[in-house]
């Protein structure tokens, strides 16, 4: 039986990511990567949204991906799983960058005047072009890591031969609490410099916890039993984290060290993810025509939304064609329009639907 709450977590979280990137693009806290402040406000209080959702919004997607991998591998062989994940994940995040996402690289570099700066520094044109291509990966970092974890999972399964799944099914409520410590430990290692989103060990733990622990019905019964408590806990932790690092510490960078290595960040990430998983399993395990449509199109929204937001920043916000409130509104609309619109178009174009979205050549998306 399909677990509809997993589908609902995906599309709702991706929608949250779209809102997050709008605030991120014009943030006033000095978080690098966007255009930056476009208002005259001393404090953009609404930027607190980034602090509320950032610690848990990507971990919960990796958690769900791990659970989904279990569902997939119960119906398919390892080789079928490898082929499917390679087509769905590796192809779009590699070939797709050269076929389409170089456009994102152009927009991202243009936002920061990187083309002029690189040329002034004497960087050869071909090298600048390669930098632009690499910059086009953008939000695809999630897809990169998910493919690596999926391949690693196949290897681990061959070694442990199902023993870890049996152990995972015996997880108790107290053990669920104790899993916080491996999450915290993993957050201290294998973090890439400069590009801080590649937290290889941190997200890997969430993926494998999803597969080996939270994919078990016995464990999910425990989560559903304590769903309200977990929701309260996750909410309080997110509020406390935001209160300390946004208000008390005057907008410290939540996405880099030392903040994203701290115990409070880790607690917000882990228990926030559990709150979403438990809450949706108990209250959001349903399907209707709207949720079905949103679920089918969530990958397209994730892949294409940032191009709409960043293009708005480059062509409208940077030259100050509209006042700030209008820029925010247009950016949010562009995120959804580009996400759903480009998905509808590219999913119907031969070769492009395979290269950019990982859709089989013979399959049409409606």
Q: For 141-193, where are the E strands, in sequence order?
A: none
pLDDT in tens, 17-44: 999 999 999 999 988 889 999 999 989 9
CA–CA gap between residue 197 and residue 274 (Å, rounded): 21
Q: Which residues make Cβ contacts (< 8 Å) with residue 1, sequence separation at least 6?
A: none
**Residues whose CB is less than 8 angstroms from the CB of residue 171 and which lie 6 or more positions away in sequence, other chains included:** 213, 216, 218, 219, 222
Q: How many helices (H) and strands (E) does the chain have?
A: 19, 0
- Alpha carbon separation from 240 to 128, 182, 232, 244 (Å, rounded): 43, 22, 12, 6
**What's the pLDDT tens digit per position in 115-162?**
988 988 899 999 999 999 988 988 999 999 999 999 999 999 999 999
Q: Is the pLDDT of residue 364 over 90?
A: no
Q: Which two tokens stand for residue 338?
A: 């580009």
Say if CB 298 and CB 10 are below 8 A apart: yes
pLDDT more than 90, % of the chain = 87
Nearest-10 crossing angle of helices 227-242, 48-73: 140
């Amino acid at each position: 039986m399909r677990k509809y709450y997993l589908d609902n977590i995906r599309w709702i979280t991706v929608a949250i990511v779209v809102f997050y990137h709008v605030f991120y693009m014009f943030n006033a806290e000095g978080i690098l990567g966007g255009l930056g402040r476009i208002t005259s406000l001393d404090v953009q209080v609404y930027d607190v949204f980034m602090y509320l959702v950032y610690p848990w919004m990507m971990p919960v997607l990796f958690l769900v991906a791990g659970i989904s991998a279990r569902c997939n591998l119960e119906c398919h062989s390892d080789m079928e799983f490898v082929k499917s994940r390679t087509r769905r994940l590796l192809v779009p995040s590699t070939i797709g960058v050269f076929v389409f996402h170089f456009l994102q690289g152009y927009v991202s570099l243009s936002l920061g005047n990187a083309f002029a700066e690189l040329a002034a520094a004497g960087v050869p044109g071909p090298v600048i072009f390669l930098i632009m291509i690499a910059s086009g990966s953008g939000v695809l970092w999630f897809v990169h890591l998910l493919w690596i974890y999926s391949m690693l999972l196949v290897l681990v399964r061959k070694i442990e031969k199902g023993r870890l799944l049996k152990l995972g099914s015996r997880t108790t409520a107290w053990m669920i609490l104790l899993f916080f410590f491996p999450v915290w430990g993993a957050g201290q290692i294998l973090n890439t410099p400069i590009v801080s989103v590649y937290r290889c060990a941190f997200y890997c733990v969430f993926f494998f916890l999803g597969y080996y622990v939270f994919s078990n019905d016995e464990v999910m019964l425990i989560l559903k039993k304590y769903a309200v408590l977990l929701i309260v806990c996750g909410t309080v932790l997110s509020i406390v984290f935001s209160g300390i690092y946004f208000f008390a510490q005057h907008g410290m960078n939540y996405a880099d060290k030392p903040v994203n290595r701290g115990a409070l960040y880790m607690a917000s990430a882990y228990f926030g993810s559990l709150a979403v998983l438990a809450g949706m399993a108990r209250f959001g395990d349903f399907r209707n025509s709207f949720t079905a449509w949103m679920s089918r199109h969530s990958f397209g929204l994730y892949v294409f939304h940032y191009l709409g937001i960043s293009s708005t920043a480059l062509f409208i916000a940077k030259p100050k064609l509209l006042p700030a409130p209008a820029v925010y509104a247009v950016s949010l609309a562009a995120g959804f329009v580009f996400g759903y619109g480009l998905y509808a178009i590219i999913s119907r174009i031969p070769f492009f639907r395979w290269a950019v979205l990982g859709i089989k050549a013979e399959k049409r998306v409606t």
